[in-house]
Structures are given as structure tokens and as C-alpha cells.
Amino acid sequence: MLAQIPVTSEADLHAAVARARTAQPTWAATPVVHRCGVLREFGRILHQRRQEVAECITREAGKPNVEALITEALVALDAARFCANNAVAFLHPQRVPHGNPMMKVKRGQLLREPHGVIGIIAPWNYPFSIPATESLAALVTGNAVVLKPSEFTTLVGLKLAELLHAAGVPRDVFQVVTGAGETGAALLASNIDKLIFTGSVGTGRRVAEAAGKRLLPVVLELGGKDAMLVLEDASVEVASSAAVWGAFVNCGQACLSVERCYVHRSLYEKFVLACVEKTKRLRVGNGMDQNIEIGPMIHARQLANVASQVEEAVAAGATVLTGGHALAELGPNFYAPTVITGVDHSMRIMRDETFGPVLAIMPFDSSAHDDAAVALINDSDFGLAASLWTANRARGEALARRIRSGTVMVNDAITCFGISEAPHGGVGQSGIGRTHGFQGLEEMVRLKYLDTDYTGGMAKVWWYGYSPAFARQMDGFMDFLFARNLLQRLAGGMRSAAAFVRKGRV
């Protein structure tokens, strides 16, 4: 046992949200440059205490210490950098030009204002980097945050609060409430202005249903069944190493992990052999050991889900080439890294999220314009991320545009989550909305259009006093607008043609 932490009562949770609502206007009125300074101080403290944070993550979540550093602390550190460097420009009023001649006497501005109090329900698989990136974006845009970490990684959530408070975030502006599903439900039902949820599809549906009843805006990141596509010109050595790391990092407990791998038949046997050999060399054990590459799964229930998918696939004709069993001799919740072949889309292991250390590999044959490969990837209810492996970058990017997914990586996997500028989110059952990047900042604000008329002392011609003459004037004005727009399009086309001629393209 690491610690005993009391569950936040419903009354205490509502009191926390009330304190956040009281404190938020003062925080929002604080100059954004000051809030950016607080985030930079958070980054400095996190850098200084990164080993302490990583050890806390490893003790609770079990992942190897080096993964806690590079996939958690480093990601949060870069998110602080991105938010602090971009918030001032992002929040600056944006001019909105008017094309309609009747509106030229107006000045339009787009304002971005905080929602108020944002609730965050965070998962256990990345218990520091996920809530940190979301919280930093919410805080720098002027919101207060109430975070409910997973009951399996509560100490990590409290560590995040400790660092933010040390950096200068007021205690009522960032608060942590503790508990399991009941606490999350209470946060959803509380007086928050928006909810950011990361978790399972089933829970996400219930969150969306409850939020819809009160028109509460939400961002939902609900996982994936991420595909890896290895084309016939890819490097077997590189792609197999990527598949092994992509499938087993964090013991496969990553929404971006490689869960289904499609390999061109000409490379299939060599690729499978390379994956099996590399998987057998992986070192499994206590994540505090610097030599360990795979830690335990988070709990017995998740291990049982992985085991049942593997067993069902084998019963349907699949073959386990390595792994496929628990490692009870290492302790509870250890499962051997598993490579499985002979799979197809009728099996749950190729359709449902596995969220464990399993690499399922399936061959595909060539077809015109790579249609067969694209069809395999798109044959899924999920659409979070995918990866393509090819020596032809142009071909890879062309294929990427045809894949139904929030992110597609060419010759890399998973690491898009560590790019603070890149939006993170999916389509279909992978959820709605985005975190990270400017799109993630947009989720933390409400848009307000501000319109100022320069002729405030004059009546407008379109106000009451309708008459046949006025109707004719407006009808003629519409003819004028249509003709003007047509001339502008023609002039634009002529300029484009002239530019092509000047560049020697014609």
C-alpha cells in the first residue's frame, strides 16, 4: 500500500467547485503574461523535480521509470512551453474583416474568453501528462480547474497539484477531488462549465448522455484501435522495431498503441519473424529497475480483458507465436508481451480496444491504388491514430489523406502525442473534440464576436420604413453585389493565370 486517501464527499466536491467559481474571475483578470509566467515557473519546477515525479508515476502506474520521464514529465514540460509561448497571441482580439459593403462602417473583433470552471476526469494510463496538458491549456486561458484523477493513480494527480501550486497557481483555481466513478459522476453533475474526459467508450457515452441533458460542452477522448500499415517498400528492420515498441510501450496501455498491424504479403514472413525475435528479448519486471522495458498492467480486470481477447482469437483459429499468458511468477498483473497471427476482422482482438501488450499481425495483398490497405484500416469503429511505413514519402502522405483518423503518422507511431503543437483527438468512437495545440486551446475558450458601428448616431437604411421603393433598392443592391463578386472571381483567375505564366508553368 502506498497511501490511504479519503474519498471526496459529494458535498465537499460541490464546495470545491464553488470555491473555483469564486476564484476564477480574479485569475481570468490576471494579465495573461502573468499566467504565462506561472506556467514557465511550473516548467522550471517540473524540470528540477522530474525524477521525483517519474518515481511517483512508476510506483502507482507500474510503467518503467524511463517511460515515466519521456512520455509523462517531458510531454508536460513541452506543453507548458507551448502554452506559455503562445497564449498571449492566441488570446489577443482578432480582427474580423467585412466583405459586405453595407457593413464597412463596422469594426468586428473575435474575443476568446474562458469558460469558467473546467472539470477534468483523467485516466490512469498517462496519469501525469494527460491531465497536465489539459490543465495547463485551461489555466493559461483563464479558467479554474477541478481535476478528478483515476482512483488507481491519485497520488500522481496530487503531485501535479503540488507542482502547480508551488508555481503560483492559486489553490482554489486548481483543485483535486479524489475517488472512483461516483466522484466523476458528481463532478459531471456539479456546477462546472465544461468537462474534459479521457476514458473508455462505454463511460464516454454515459458522460455525453448526461452532459447533453444540460447542454454541458464536453471533450471526449475515448481510445482507439490504432492500425499500422507496412507497405512493400518499407524497411522490415525499422518497421518491426516500431511495431514492437508501439504495441508494448506502457505495457500496451496507450490509446495510441499499435493494436492491429497490416503487412504487405511480400514482407509478411520476415516481418513476423523479426517482431517475434524482438519481443522475446524484452525485459519484463519492476519498473523501478532501469533495465526493465515492460512493467505490469494496471489491475487484474484489465489483464483479464486482454487474456480473454487472446483466448477467443486462438479458439477462432489464431496462433500465438510468443507470450499469450500471465507471468504470475513476477507478481500480480504481469502479462507476457504477445505476438499473434492468423487473425481477421471477425475477431474481437481486431475490432475492440485491447489496451494490453498484444501485437496482432495480418497480411494484405496489393490492389489498385492501395485500396485494400486503406479499406482494412478504415474498417473500424475507432479513428484515433494510424501509422504508415514506406520508403516513398509522397505515397505515404497520399494514403494518409484517405485514412479515417484524427492523426496519421508516416514512418513513426505514437509520438504525435508528444508534439505540443499537434492536435490530439479522433473520430467515430474515439471521441469528439481536441486537446493539444491551438485546437486544444480553442476548446478552453468561448468565442465572442464584438461588433462596433462607427456611425452610432445614424439610423440604418434597413430599419423599418419598408416600401416598394426600398424593396427595389435592395433588389438592385443584390444585383450589384453579385456582379461585383463575379468580377472579383474573374480578376482573381486572371492573376493566377498570369502568375503561372511568369513562373514558366505554361
Q: 144-148 and 174-176 as β-strands: parallel, antiparallel, unpaired? A: parallel
Check 221, 259, 293, 353 and give the catalytic one: 221
**Percent helix / strand / coil, the chain, rounded to 5:** 50, 15, 35
Question: Nearest-CA neighbor of 419 among 4, 219, 133?
Answer: 133
CA 442/CA 478 separation, integer angstroms: 35
Maximal CA-CA distance, the chain: 91
Active site residue 277: no
Catalytic residue among 36, 83, 255, 275: 255
Cβ 175 vs Cβ 161: under 8 Å = yes
Q: Assess whether 56 carries a catalytic annotation.
A: no
Report how far residue 374's alpha carbon sits from residue 5's, in angstroms, rounded to the nearest whole number: 48
Among candidate residues 126, 127, 65, the one with its CA nearest the CA of residue 292: 65
C-alpha cell at 437: 495545440
**Residue 146 to residue 413: CA distance in whole angstroms:** 32
DSSP single-letter state for residue 210? H
Q: Classify 174 as helix, strand or coil.
A: strand
Q: Which residues of 355-375 are buried (b: 16+ CB within 10 A; e: fewer)?
A: bbbbbbbbbbeeeeebeebbe
Position 420, amino acid? S
Catalytic residues: 221, 255
